């Protein structure tokens, strides 16, 4: 399967089913090895679970994507900034991708800025993303860089300054505690 930019509104990738309201692309269990060509750019929900996708690249998904399910794939590489344009993304499921711990030639953690600019992210699923049964695996998910929207960065803003508690809606499900706090 060839990687490509999201397609126009009327397109639906081959072997996928698309629904207009909300714009949904359902491509699960099709044995895709890459994000299919022609995912409509205005898709709000993209379901790509249970495939064999190995890489995620910048521009694979549209700005308006709110729900992105990529669980149960073979993701081994995520291009820097692959999620950075998804400002409306609320739910991201990367669970059951056991090779993620090998990102960028052997790193044992997801890059610290992988979720940079995901201002709307509420649910992050990472269950079974690595060999977490091995205490000596060196795998860590403790240093994700989560940003607040730019309006919180200015001291003159009328909004209260964000605190650590402002990300309580973020869910790291089924990630053993020893991986979070080492």
pLDDT 10s digits, 78-89: 888 899 899 999
CATH number of 23's domain = 3.80.10.10
The count of domains in the chain is 1
Strands 17-19 and 24-26: antiparallel
pLDDT band at residue 113 using 50, 70 and 90 as cut-offs: confident
Q: What are the tens digits of pLDDT across the range 132-164?
A: 444 444 444 444 445 555 554 444 444 443 333
Closest CA to 63 of 80, 79, 47, 39: 39
If you average pLDDT over residues 16-39, what whole number do you get? 96
Mean pLDDT of 162-179: 41
Q: Domain range spanning residue 35?
A: 1-182
In this prediction the pTM is 0.70
């Amino acid at each position: 399967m060839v990687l490509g930019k999201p397609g126009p509104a009327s397109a639906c990738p081959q072997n996928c089913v698309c629904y207009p309201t909300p714009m949904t692309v359902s491509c699960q269990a099709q044995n895709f090895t890459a994000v299919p060509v022609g995912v409509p750019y205005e898709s709000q929900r993209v379901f790509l679970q249970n495939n064999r996708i190995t890489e995620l690249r910048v521009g694979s998904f549209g700005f308006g994507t709110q729900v992105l399910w990529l669980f149960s794939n073979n993701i081994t590489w995520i291009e820097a900034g692959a999620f950075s344009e998804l400002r409306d993304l609320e739910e991201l499921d990367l669970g059951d991708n056991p090779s993620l711990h090998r990102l960028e030639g052997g790193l044992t953690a997801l890059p610290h800025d992988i979720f940079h600019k995901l201002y709307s992210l509420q649910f992050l699923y990472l269950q079974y993303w690595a060999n977490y049964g091995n205490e000596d695996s060196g795998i860590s998910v403790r240093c994700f860089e989560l940003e607040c929207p730019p309006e919180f960065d200015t001291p003159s803003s009328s909004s209260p300054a964000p605190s650590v508690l402002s990300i309580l809606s973020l869910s790291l499900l089924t990630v053993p505690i020893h991986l979070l706090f080492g």
